[in-house]
A and B are shown apart, each in its own frame.
Chain A
Amino acid sequence: MTENSTLSHLANTIIDTCVRCGKCKATCPTCDEGISGKPRWEIFSGRGRVRLAQGLLDGKIPLTDTIVKSFYTCFFCNSCVENCPSGTKVTELIRAVRCYIASKGKQPQGITSLACNLDSCGDIFGMGGGDRLMWALNVEDKVQARINIPAKVLYFVGCQESFKGSLAEIPEDLVLTLLHLGVDFTLLGEKELCCGNPYLLAGDETKCFEQVEKNIATISSLRASTVIFTCPGCLNTFQKYEKHRKTKLPFNIRFALEFLRDLLASKKLKFPGNAVFGTAVYHDPCELGRHLGIYEAPRAILKAIPNLTLLELDKTRENAMCCGGGGLVGACDKDFSVTQAQRKIIEVLGKQPALLVTSCPACFDTLEGAKGTLEQAQPLKIKDIFKVIAEALNLSP
């Protein structure tokens, strides 16, 4: 054993459980080279990453750029964990190695910039709280009265939707839907902070959970009993906090689609049926599916929408192929992320749908970005599920 104390505590619990069977290699999205489908080098598979972690732990290999690339190209899609017959917690290990890499100052520049922004401004874009409501430009009048008021439901927007113009319609559409349904809800506005997920992906659980605690304190002051999310990453972070700290949050946490699915079941949510969507494929986001186990709520809602025929991909739910948007890979190696998204789109095109629906801002962003690189994908429409819901309800700002 070597100086690698960050890793050594994982030796018995994680690395040693791996029998090197290669099952995770078969499903690891980073192992296949884009559209060609040719397998990349072993180090770009779950098994390869576990092996490298072992080499580092045992002091058999030095920390090189190749190793950094291997660990920062993992999408955290959790397919390895889902499939591993021996229960190896590959993603936990990868997070720990990322933390170790950061401690050695070898973190990729893209990640360092995100972390700096987070440290200084409380969000990965370095915008600061003042700009948190940029997304609400079109619905400002409707949103203003909802900021920081006591309410049963609190909607946690998340950094991506808050600051990325291309994603602003996701919170906009949910807010319109909540208003349409008469839900008693509030927003944190400028007081919302990044959930901490990027820290977690960079391997720093401590900082991540500090961030969660700050948000918990603000949310608690508004006495909301339920917090809803449109970003699976944010929800996952709160859930991880609850699990790892073995604590019960002072409120329920739910994905907004589950909340809407309940309203659908109680017939409070009804779709009138004048919008026409045609055939649609639903992409299971890794963070919502494999990480949080939410597969049915989006399907229940899509199936309830008139004039929308839901098609299933061959690989769905637990087996769904990642879109390449996770793990902060886009910030370190854009090509890796884009080629994976291209693979995903090509898989979807095989079903010839009119529409590709997803329910994660990172997936939407990644798929929409990659669509531009594929000529054959131009007729395909890509929408976030909250947009589909708002359209099915004929809602607009």
Chain B
Amino acid sequence: MTVIRLKFIISYVLFKLFHPVQGCDKMGSSLEEVIGKIFPKEQYSFDPAILYAYSSDVSQFEQLPRVVVRPTDKEQVVKVVKYAAGEKIPLVARGNGSGAAGGAVPVKGCILVDFTLMNQVLEVNLTNHMVRVQPGIVHADLNNYLKKDKVLFPVVPGSSEMATIGGMIGNNASGLKAVKYGTTKDWVVDLQVVFPDGEMTWLTRPVRKSATGLDLVRLMVGSEGTLGLVVEALLRIAPIPPHRRIMQASFKNLEDLGKCVSALFQHGLIPSAMEVLDRSAIDAIHLYKEAVNLSPDAAAVLLLEEEGDELGYIQFRLQKFQQVCQENGAYNLHISQSEKENTQLWEARSLVGASSSLVKPGYNRIYVGEDITVPIDRLVEMFKKLRDLAKSYTLPIIVFGHIGDGNIHPAITVRKREPADLALAEKLQDEIHHAALALGGSVSGEHGVGLARKRYLPEERGYAIEIMRKIKQAIDPNNILNPSKIY
């Protein structure tokens, strides 16, 4: 036994001698020493207070990392991944921690890689209509930067001021404009990725289309940091339309609103944004920003944005929307009059998920994975189900969402320190997710799987989840990148 142990130790030492961690020559053996050699001291921390501050995202999960590192360049990322690969230490990527599914929540003993110091715009190419960025840039900062050239990255999450591009890529984020512009995956041209073995590569070519082999860019978008760490991204950009107007239509109930949305689609009337707010969501907005011009009494409101080069054409389109809406039970139609009104409305709408806490004093929003998507022609049934659930559960549910994509966020609010409320929320969450699946929907339209929705994935994806696991196993055989998430 002792001989075997001795042999093992000798072979281990020899292995370590001849396989030094690449890029980390002369590194010490302890995590502290190695991290201290890769990063200057202001770029990493083992401080318990800092670790605690990075132990969560918006979801209900939390776990302390072993260390937080903040790379400023991709070489540091390569080095830390190579080290982690050698030692089989888990690595979790983090943008700004605004994810709602636990994707950026550390796993036990992990190195948490905070990308927010890699936040530069590297190149804007107006001819190719592309921008090259570091992953830690915040979405709103990118669009502010691009504004002078009258272009934007048109996938706009409600969390624009918080979400980083890396986090958006990780979760395949979308948002207010998805009905027109699609989701993040539709706007990513190429990615430079550090894979779990420490190899860094671009995945394709900087061209608008390429038919050479598997689409690894799309594989990477939405993989939640489980397949590789994105260190640079080449994104498509779009011109900023000079004009926009938002039409607001009131409804007596959500089901009528759902029918109207179906009718609009049947007429081929697809706006640049299409949002739904139920009564409590409107109240939440008014409690956050009193001045926002929204119906004081409607049971539900549909917001339709139309944008373009010509105001006249926008008005022509809105008239068509108006007609269909009126034929389908809408009343009190109002069209925004100024850019100030538009901005106020969208800003408040963007944050309604967080404002849901304002609706009933003592009841606060918890993100337990309410990001369902159903086919447009099943929206009415989903709304009916939500109405029934709201009746049978005592917890306030605030309903809003990107209805143009069938994406609904039924926000559950609870008394956070009441275990009974938390248990009830868990049951309610299950019912909502299963209802969406039963209608042919998905448990996540844009927030991702993370830890929050993992348990629903076999039901949603069936055998496809096995394929995903095989891909994960092939790329990350040691399971060091964001283990325990998604699959």
Contact = CB atoms under 8 A, between A and B. Distances in A.
Contacts of B357: 17, 19, 86-87
Interface of A: 11-12, 16-17, 19-23, 25-27, 38-39, 41-43, 48, 51-52, 55, 60-62, 64, 66-67, 70, 84-87
B367 A19 contact: yes
B53 A21 contact: no
Contacts of B114: 42
Given A16-B364, A23-B354, A86-B357, A64 B57 contact: no
Interface of B: 45, 47-50, 52-54, 56-58, 70, 96-98, 114, 116-117, 119, 138, 140, 159, 161-162, 287-288, 351-358, 362, 364-367, 415-417
13 contacts: A12-B417, A19-B354, A19-B364, A19-B365, A20-B57, A22-B161, A22-B162, A38-B119, A42-B114, A51-B52, A51-B56, A55-B49, A86-B354
Nearest to A44: B53
A22 B49 contact: no
Contacts of A48: 53
Given A17-B364, A38-B119, A23 B49 contact: no
Nearest to A16: B416
A86 B361 CA distance: 11
**Most chain B Cβ neighbours within 10 Å, of A20, A25, A60, A62:** A20
B117 A20 contact: no
Nearest to B158: A21
Please indicate which of the listed interface residues B56, B114, B364 has the most CB atoms of chain A within 10 Å of its own CB: B364
Contacts of B353: 19, 21, 85
A20 B140 contact: no
Contacts of B119: 38-39
Contacts of A42: 50, 53-54, 97, 114
B358 A86 contact: yes
Nearest to A88: B357
Contact of B96 (A22, A38, A64): A22
Contacts of A16: 364, 416-417
A49 to B, nearest CB: 9
Contacts of A19: 58, 353-354, 357, 364-367
B351 A85 contact: yes
B417 to A, nearest CB: 6
B358 A23 contact: no
B49 A67 contact: yes
Contact of B365 (A22, A23, A39, A86): A86
A355 B297 CA distance: 49
Contacts of B49: 43, 52, 55, 61, 64, 66-67, 70
B344 to A, nearest CB: 12
A388 to B, nearest CB: 30
Nearest to B51: A61
Nearest to B136: A39
B47 A66 contact: yes
Contacts of B140: 26
Given A64-B47, A66-B50, 18 more contacts: A12-B415, A12-B417, A16-B417, A19-B366, A19-B367, A21-B58, A21-B162, A22-B97, A22-B98, A23-B161, A26-B161, A39-B116, A41-B50, A42-B97, A43-B50, A52-B52, A85-B352, A87-B287
Contacts of A52: 49, 52-53
Contacts of B98: 21-22
A314 to B, nearest CB: 10
Nearest to B163: A22
Contact of A11 (B117, B351, B367, B417): B417
Given A26-B161, A39-B116, A86-B358, A20 B53 contact: no
A84 B365 CA distance: 13
B106 to A, nearest CB: 13
A21 B58 CA distance: 6
Contacts of A26: 138, 140, 161-162
